[in-house]
Amino acid sequence: MSSDPHPPKVSRHRGSWGPAIGVIILIILLLAWLMVTVVRGPSPISYGNEHDPSPTELTVKQVNQQHPVTISVPEGPPKVLVADPNGSGHAIEVSCTTCHATREPDYKNVTSDDLDEFHQNLSMAHGDLSCLSCHNPKDYDTLKKADGSAVSYPNVMQLCAQCHQSRYNDYQHGAHGGMTGHWDLSKGPRQRKACIDCHDPHSPAMPKMLPQFKPLDRFMDTPHPSDHQTEASH
Amino acid sequence: MSQTPTTPTHPSAGHELEHSQHRHLVTYPKFLWKCFCAATDGGPLFYAWMIFLTAVTLVGLSAWSHQITNGMAVTGMSDHVSWGMYIANFTFIVGLAAGGVMMVIPAYLYHDRDMHDVVIVGELLAIASIIMCLLFVTVDLGHPERFWHLMPFIGRFNFPISMLTWDVIVLNGYLLINLHICGYLLYTRFQGRKPEARFYIPVVFISVFWAISIHTVTAFLYCGLGGRPLWNSALLAPRFLASAFVSGPAFIILTLYILRRLTDLPVSEKAIKTLLQILRVTICINLLMVISEMFTEFYSGTAHTASARYLYFGLHGKDALVPWIWTAVALNIIAAIVLLSPGLSKRANWIKAACVMVFIAVWIEKGMGLIIPGFIPSTLHEVVEYTPTITEWKITAGIWAFGLLAYSASLKTTVAIIRGRVSNQSPNASPQDVKL
Amino acid sequence: MPPEVQDNNTQDTAGKTVSLPVIGHISRRTALKAFGATLGIAAFGTAAKPMIDKYASMSPEEMLQRHYKELDSDERAAVINRLQDETKAKHGVDVTIRDLPPLDGVKYGYAINLSVCNGNGECMRACHKENNHDRESNQSYIRVLEMKRGSMDMEKGSTTYTHPVPDDDKFYMPVQCQQCDNPPCVDVCPVEATWKEKDGIVVVDYNWCIGCRYCEAACPYHARRFNWKAPTVPDDQINPDQGYLSNRMRPAGVMEKCTFCLHRVRDGRLPACLEACPTGARVFGNLLDPDSEIRWVLANKRVFMLKEELGTQPSFFYYFDE
């Protein structure tokens, strides 16, 4: 300041370094505190009950599984709609054996392309399997495993499992397949999809889907087909 | 404005034996009142300037009112770029506040007489800047009416974990420190007394460290975020300081030229020279840091350079910031050449031009050039650009105008006190004050 | 602050008025100043009116409501009643807002099978509906990234694809809140408006958040959303099953985020996005239960965490079958 023609003497200044050094020490202490807190992580965050879970303590309550996990099952052997052979003009439902009882199984038929009547629209894309890999020629109202033993339609997952073992293993552990209901079975039941709810057994690959719900954020480009896809689809 | 902030200062004056408590009870309100009169009185140019600033402030206030009623949707920000103009300006102005310390260091640490005469200009700039900073943070809040949540003990102050709480402390602390220094010096001058060193010199020394801390902590706000590679750099805090010591002295040099022209404050050439010397050094350090940052980003070519690539060259066809940043780079380099060339740096007009250039350059580089690209691409690498809306421009202009209003009014008062037009003895200051 | 302008102006006028008798006469200068000050105050009042009106219309309970953790059960009940009444008044819908506590011995974990996910985006739709999100912006807490096979570089990814999925060349990665054990968003919040609950869910107190968006800058997963305006949801589409810390109607100007559908999972139910997934790619469960599905996935699949190098320690996992 101009009002201070004789700035305080140096000795005066030396004395006044005290507070400044004090502030520095304070700041260092605060920083140290911060580091300690950050490294430890903020105290309110803790898991389990009171203390951090160590592996031995991860046992946790054995859940009282009062509620069931239900897997959707097909009701029984499929029925086929055909014109009434008695000429009534109505369509009637017949079971597989109704027709197949009168026909010899033909092992040469691999896909629907090989058929000259019936089931011709069925698209078949399931690896190298042929019709009679799964359908039981001894009883068309059942399916058959690789060893020839019959499997009822409601138990179709057993048939899938014999080839897709690892996928079935995932399924059994809840790591594959859709579900609804409760994660906590002590609070309520859970419903699970069966293989054929999502996968058409004749053509099990999931079909392509059209994404219909896209974010419309502020100032974001409107969703558009990516360049790559435009090339590919043309 | 200038006199209101002085309220919390130095009850310490009461300790002096020769002055009774009673006397200050009369003198201090008188001081405040006379300051107020001096700040609201002047010539036509002064009135025109103040009315203009008030008008822009009111435009800003009206825009803020609009923003509060209609939500932050009136801004150009999004979940991708969630900070914009406000925080960019905040970051820049914290630097301006810290830059004032570049006058304090020569004046008090090196006993530079000429600087000592005008050092208060830097301290007043700090006060005005901190006010602007606090306003920029306030207008950026979705719920400014919940500001009390941020108060220690009343709300829930997440200290020391949140860097923002550190910033609250250092910014308000810096404001108080500078209010105390300026208030004390002006008050003693008003009384016609010599300021007592023990009441302000220790605080001045604290303010030196505090100035460094405000900008360091502000840099820590950003560089502590691991998910934002552009900011997550140890160079950020030093770079902030370097650029602060560019923009601060540049602005003060311009202020000193204006004061010399418009007021009777004795501004010595030597003070300006000292600031220019500082500027010559800091502008080079700042450029060096920009270059090292760019080298690290581009030479390594890691995936973390996406933001830098967006900033300097554009990314996936989006390049809104490219012209800005290259303007900043060009201005920086031109200003450096002017200031470092022996011929040009002796001419006042070239100096002024260089100061304006470097001020704008740092504003771009540290504001829009640092905050915005930190968000582009987003953490999931979506490239969504940001353009400030008219509301944001209005609010930003309003805050700048308010800051300049506070700065002008406080400079006006200060000059009047220093020149002895406003003092305990003077009957009425205003009518004689003809120059401005 | 702008209000100070007003204060000073008020002082100005008042001061001049008081000092009139002393001076004895009004100078032209003083009169002009008084006139200018009056004009200034009037302009100030006009400019600030919408803001003042807005705050004047807020109830004191709303203005002064304390932090969630500081409210006792009676106070929480009162707050919840107030919020339910507000929704009823505004939308004419009866909603139930519950404040379910964390379950003992439970810490939630979530995993997504990237071999199965085909990017159809039904999880986003389910989230959108369940959590009463803004209809105009198709807001949800999930973003699905389409990425090139053989690369984890998100920069080559896209969220805006609309072609039939899955593209043979691509894989799909839904990203939502990872409920980190070391959450940067919680660290940075200056007012403790967001915190990690005992069951691992990071929540936000919408009535305490000041809307500074520091958490949004800190989150490396783009998991946080800001209410740039109050979300618009048609009255008949409001999900009435609401949680205080999750999907209740949010005000403008506060942050929000995925809570693993806290109002469902603390009731033992599965999150909405899991139930909606047509490919069954999602696995949810209790990380502290060694027999849970999620623990089996962690033990038997090759699991990775997104941006693990950032040290956020997510409770959210990704895995491939092959």
User: Is B149 close to C55, i.e. CB distance below 8 A?
Assistant: no
Check residues A47 and A220 and name the one with the higher pLDDT: A220
pLDDT of amino acid A74? 82
For β-strands A179-181 and A150-152, DSSP reports them as unpaired
Of all residues in chain C, the one with the smallest CA distance to A57 is C288
Considering only the beta carbons, identify the residue of A177, A208, A209 that sits closest to C280.
A177
Q: Among A20-29, A187-196, B374-383, C287-296, which stretch is predicted with the lowest mean pLDDT?
A: A20-29
The C-alpha of B196 sits at a distance from chain A's nearest C-alpha, in angstroms, of 9
pLDDT of amino acid B431? 43
ipTM for the complex shown: 0.90
Subunits touching C (CB < 8 Å, at least 3 pairs)?
A, B
Computed on alpha carbons and rounded to an integer, the radius of gyration of chain B in Å comes to: 22
Same domain, C258 and C168: yes
Considering only the beta carbons, identify the residue of C8, C212, C230 that sits closest to B1.
C8
Same domain, C31 and C134: no
Torsion of Cα atoms, C204 then C206 then C209 then C215, to 10°: 40
The C-alpha of B379 sits at a distance from chain C's nearest C-alpha, in angstroms, of 5
pLDDT of amino acid A2? 42
Q: What residue type is C72 in one-letter code?
A: D
Distance in angstroms (rounded) separating the CA atoms of residues A43 and B161: 11
Q: Name the strand (E) or helix (H) holding B413.
A: helix B390-418
Q: Does C85 map to a domain?
A: no
For residue A63, pLDDT over 80 is answered with: no
As a residue count, chain C comes to: 322
Considering only the beta carbons, identify the residue of B141, B144, B227 that sits closest to C219.
B227
B180 touches chain A (CB under 8 A): no
Considering only the beta carbons, identify the residue of B71, B163, B168 that sits closest to C188.
B163
User: Is C213 close to B83, i.e. CB distance below 8 A?
Assistant: yes
Which residues in A lie closer than 8 A to residue B202 (C-beta atoms)? 16, 18-20
- Cα angle C287-C288-C292, degrees, rounded to a multiple of 5: 60
Mean pLDDT, range C84-98, rounded to an integer: 95
| Intervals of chain B under pLDDT 50 | 1-17, 429-436
- Enter the CATH code of domain B76-388: 1.20.1630.10
Q: Which of C37, C56, C75 is the last residue of a domain?
A: C56
Q: Does A227 map to a domain?
A: no
- Domain with C279, as residue range(s), is 108-320
Q: Does C101 map to a domain?
A: no
C positions 250-289 inside 8 Å of A (CB)? 265, 267-270, 274-275, 277-280, 283-286, 288-289
Of all residues in chain A, the one with the smallest CA distance to B112 is A7
Same domain, C258 and C153: yes
Query: Could you state, in order of their start, the residue ranges of all structural domains in chain B?
Result: 76-388
C191 touches chain B (CB under 8 A): yes
Q: Which of C168, C58, C187 is nearest to C119 (CA)?
A: C168
How far CA B183 is from CA of A5, A21, B188, C75, C266, in Å, comes to: 19, 24, 9, 46, 58
User: Is A217 close to B205, i.e. CB distance below 8 A?
Assistant: no
Tally of domains within chain A: 1
Q: Does A47 map to a domain?
A: no
B312: tokens are 């300097």
Mean pLDDT, range C163-177, rounded to an integer: 95
Contact B251, B99 (CB under 8 A): yes
C27 touches chain A (CB under 8 A): no
Contact B132, B399 (CB under 8 A): yes
Q: What is the pLDDT of residues C212-247, one digit of tens each?
A: 999 999 999 999 999 999 999 999 999 999 999 999
User: Is A16 close to B201, i.e. CB distance below 8 A?
Assistant: yes
User: Is A20 close to B202, i.e. CB distance below 8 A?
Assistant: yes
A2 touches chain B (CB under 8 A): yes
pLDDT of amino acid C15? 40
For residue A55, pLDDT over 60 is answered with: no
pLDDT of amino acid A38? 67
Q: Which of B398, B400, B414 is nearest to B2 (CA)?
A: B414
B positions 147-186 inside 8 Å of C (CB)? 147, 149-150, 155-158, 161-165, 168
Distance in angstroms (rounded) separating the CA atoms of residues C127 and C112: 16
* Helix, strand, coil percentages for chain A (3-state, nearest 5): 35, 15, 55
User: Is C137 close to A222, i.e. CB distance below 8 A?
Assistant: no
The C-alpha of A30 sits at a distance from chain C's nearest C-alpha, in angstroms, of 16
Q: Does C89 map to a domain?
A: no
User: Is C167 close to A228, i.e. CB distance below 8 A?
Assistant: yes
Give C203's strand partners. Answer: C195
User: Is C229 close to B402, i.e. CB distance below 8 A?
Assistant: no
Q: What is the pLDDT of residues B232-277, one digit of tens each?
A: 999 999 999 999 999 999 999 999 999 999 999 999 999 999 999 9
C positions 29-88 inside 8 Å of B (CB)? 33, 36, 40, 43-44, 46-51, 53-55, 58, 63, 67
Which residues in B lie closer than 8 A to residue C189 (C-beta atoms)? 158, 162
Q: What is the pLDDT of residues A160-180, one digit of tens each?
A: 999 999 999 999 999 999 999
C positions 183-212 inside 8 Å of A (CB)? 186-187, 195-196, 198, 200
Which residues in B lie closer than 8 A to residue C4 (C-beta atoms)? 1, 4
Tally of domains within chain C: 2
A56: tokens are 């031995």
Handedness of CA C168, C170, C171, C176 (dihedral sign): negative
DSSP 8-state symbol, B318: B
Q: Does A49 map to a domain?
A: no
For residue A39, pLDDT over 90 is answered with: no
User: Is B143 close to C253, i.e. CB distance below 8 A?
Assistant: yes
The C-alpha of C229 sits at a distance from chain B's nearest C-alpha, in angstroms, of 5
Q: What is the pLDDT of residues C41-61, one digit of tens each?
A: 999 999 999 999 999 999 999
pLDDT of amino acid A87? 74
The C-alpha of A113 sits at a distance from chain C's nearest C-alpha, in angstroms, of 26
Q: Is A30 helix (H, G, I), strand (E, B) or coil?
A: helix
pLDDT of amino acid B301? 82
pLDDT of amino acid C69? 95
Its pTM surpasses 0.95 = no
pLDDT of amino acid B304? 84
Q: Does A106 map to a domain?
A: yes
For residue A24, count other CB atoms closer than 10 A to its CB: 13
Helices (H), chain C: 2-23, 28-56, 60-64, 73-91, 122-130, 184-188, 214-218, 262-265, 272-276, 293-300
B10: tokens are 């130095």
Cα-flanking dihedrals φ and ψ of residue A197, to 5°?
-70, -30
Contact B173, B210 (CB under 8 A): yes
Distance in angstroms (rounded) separating the CA atoms of residues C178 and C143: 12
Q: What is the pLDDT of residues A94-107, one digit of tens each?
A: 888 888 888 888 88
For residue A187, count other CB atoms closer than 10 A to its CB: 17
Distance in angstroms (rounded) separating the CA atoms of residues A167 and A165: 5
B212 touches chain A (CB under 8 A): no
C156 touches chain A (CB under 8 A): no
B110 touches chain A (CB under 8 A): no
Q: Does C96 map to a domain?
A: no
User: Is A20 close to B116, i.e. CB distance below 8 A?
Assistant: no
* Helix, strand, coil percentages for chain C (3-state, nearest 5): 40, 15, 45
A82 touches chain C (CB under 8 A): no
Q: What is the CATH number of the domain that holds C122?
A: 3.30.70.20
Which residues in C lie closer than 8 A to residue B80 (C-beta atoms)? 222
pLDDT of amino acid B289? 95
Q: Does A8 map to a domain?
A: no
B116 touches chain A (CB under 8 A): yes
pLDDT of amino acid A17? 67
Q: What is the pLDDT of residues C2-40, one digit of tens each?
A: 443 344 444 444 444 444 444 446 688 888 888 989 999
- Domain with A121, as residue range(s), is 69-198
Contact C256, C225 (CB under 8 A): yes
pLDDT of amino acid C159? 92
C169 touches chain A (CB under 8 A): yes
Contact B10, B183 (CB under 8 A): yes
The C-alpha of A162 sits at a distance from chain C's nearest C-alpha, in angstroms, of 18
